[in-house]
Structure 1
Amino acid sequence: MKRTLRAAVCSVAVAGLALGLTACSEAVDQVDKAVDETYEVTYEVTGKNIDSIEFHGGGGKAMEPKIESVSKPELPWKKTVTLRGIMPAAVMPVAADPEGSQITCKIIHKGKVIEEQSTKGLVSAGGCTAESPVAG
């Protein structure tokens, strides 16, 4: 009887392990697919006295995106980029002006504003960051 019980327990354990590995394999496949999927966003920045704009332009790794930069941008500024996988969309306009500055940034995906921020002040570092639509 002990032998039969031991065999049954081992069979259940092996079956559970196989199911667990299958579930893990499916999860890994989904992550791989999400990492390779691309999406497009448009960054828009308006305001006055903006010194530079930094943004995720699509290069680098998902958790370490390459930051691109534009100095003394002509406003309003607009840029469409293709991002990959779980990489967040981000645009960071920066202004330093003793008279004050105004900054508004937007991130648009498929015609819909998914993030918008505005700021005023002596030294402004306004920014917009949005989660990847692929991730969620």
Structure 2
Amino acid sequence: MNRTTRTTRAVRTTRAAAAAAGLAFGLVGCDAAVDQVDKAMNETYQVTYEVTGKNVDSIEYNAGAGTATEPKLESVQKPTLPWKRTVTLKGIAAPTVVPIAVDPVGAEVVCTITYQGKVIKEESGAGIAAATGCVAISPITG
């Protein structure tokens, strides 16, 4: 084996060792990230939905059933206003409340989502048909 071949092999071996070390260090960091995601996915939090206005026909909201990517929404028909509900959600599940109001004279609707005493989302709509939705990012995701 000549000197050039030995040098080439040494360089390749060094590169392979460096790549393996980098991968090992990367996996350690990856483990920490996975731990953080697992913790966030299992952590629960409470939000309060509120709907006000007039002529609201229905309200759909995420009450915590289903999954974060496919929540099973609950529905309330002809709610008494003001309407308020506190729910417990998990992980990255998005707090969601969607009121729908229809009236030929005029409908109005306001929805809010509150987390730990602070409004994290508020929307309003008005007109013959007023459908608005409050969808917030999970407050535990950062």
Q: TM-score range by the shorter chain?
A: over 0.9
Residue correspondence of structure 1 range 94-105 to structure 2 within 5 A: 94-105=100-111
Choose the corresponding residue for 1:64, options 70, 79, 84.
70
State whether structure 2 residue 81 is matched by structure 1 residue 78: no
Q: Which residue of 2 aligns with 1:135?
A: 141
Tell me how far 1:60 sits from its aligned partner.
0.8
SS in 1 for 2:141: coil
Whichever structure has more helix as a proportion of its residues is 2
Q: Which residue of 2 aligns with 1:40?
A: 46
Choose the corresponding residue for 1:24, options 22, 27, 30.
30
Segments of structure 1 that go 5 or more residues without pairing to the other structure are: none
* Matched residue count: 136
| Root-mean-square deviation over aligned CA pairs | 1.1
**TM-score normalised by the chain length of structure 1:** 0.94
CA distance in 2, matches of 1:106, 1:10: 56
Deviations 1:39-82 (A, max 9, x none): 10000001111000000001111111110000010110000000
Tell me how far 1:22 sits from its aligned partner.
1.6
Tell me how far 1:17 sits from its aligned partner.
1.1
Q: Which has the larger radius of gyration?
A: 2
